Chain A
Amino acid sequence: MAFQKLIRERFFPHLWCPGCGHGTVLNGLLHAVDELGLDQSSLCMVSGIGCSARIAGYVDFHTMHTMHGRALACATGLKLARPSLTIFVPMGDGDATAIGGNHFIHACRRNIDLTAIVLNNRIYGMTGGQYSPLSGQGILATTAPYRSIDPAFDVVQLALGAGATFVARTTAFHVKEIGSIIKKAVQHKGMSVVEIFVQCPTYFGRKNKIGDAVQMLEQYRDRTAPLGSKKLEADPSLIARGIFKDEQRPEYCEEYAKIIARAQGKEA
């Protein structure tokens, strides 16, 4: 694959730890963009703060590295000003559901045409391994030395409840799914939320004694199952992956354009 033209090679090797799943997601995203044949100057990536947000520095699209949790708010403004842009918003679990929780649900509610990618590693990696709203109960973190008592959000259910019109989940083990789901999410008109489980071997894996990156990926392989599969039916404790929702609802920028036309008296 000719991904060299899609990245800023001068910043490589990237800063992520050995075995970090964020690189795999970047890899899948580049494959998806390459296969869709999208023009780089029509793409923008808007990110917040955290390990995941560093993705924006590596892609040779238009990029904005914004405030913690505010990536979706900035992306909403950008999309309204330049509706023709295809916008990716990579966020970490804390970025999307803690600091940016409010922006997340409202972007879903508005159904604005963005592709939000939630890289869920269940921990704040960059700041040293504090637990996040997606860590879940019984998890060891630097701020939970006696294990976390906080239940986790389910990003898929949260996005569905908030009104996103494309909601999917996959993992860093299922590399072909990452590409195919991102492709569908980009082509979808409206708010797309893609949750991707990514391994953080440095903090989450080591703290919780799961092992290295390979063992964490094996866990994703063994503990998830495709939606509607026999495997999932047989063992409901497995985590479902796949596309949970893909439907059409009026898109925010189009509705806004109609308001502008109405205000200018140009309404048909």
Chain B
Amino acid sequence: MEAVSINERWCKGCGICVAFCPKEALVLEHEKARHIPDRCIACGMCELYCPDLAITVDTSKKPARAKKEVA
């Protein structure tokens, strides 16, 4: 399973997660947020920003490569 899961039924496509993701790992597609796992560092900010509670982030799934990139 990927670190970020998006509940499309709850997502209203407001674009807040897309705008404030530090790694541009989210995009809007057909008025729903879509996750790009390659760019994601599983920081968990989108989960906190989402006003629709549509995003859950498993921060234990931080990829080792991304950890290095942050450091």
Contact = CB atoms under 8 A, between A and B. Distances in A.
Interface string B1-18: 000000001101111100
Given A1-B56, A213-B15, A214-B19, A24 B10 contact: no
A12 B53 contact: yes
Contact of B12 (A7, A13, A24, A30): A13
Interface string A174-217: 01100100000000000000000000010000000000111001
- Where chain B touches its partner, the secondary structure class is loop
A18 interface: yes
Of the candidates B9, B14, B50, the one having the most CB atoms from chain A within 10 angstroms of its own CB is: B14
Contact of A24 (B15, B49, B56): B49
- Where chain A touches its partner, the secondary structure class is helix
Contact of B51 (A27, A30, A31, A212): A27
Given A18-B14, A19-B15, A27 B50 contact: yes
A26 interface: yes
Given A12-B10, A13-B9, A175-B45, A23 B15 contact: no
A18 B48 contact: no
A1 B46 CA distance: 12
A16 B48 contact: no
A197 to B, nearest CB: 14
10 contacts: A13-B54, A18-B12, A23-B51, A27-B47, A31-B48, A175-B45, A212-B14, A213-B14, A213-B15, A217-B16
CB-CB nearest 7 A-B residue pairs: A23-B51, A19-B14, A18-B12, A175-B48, A18-B14, A214-B19, A13-B10
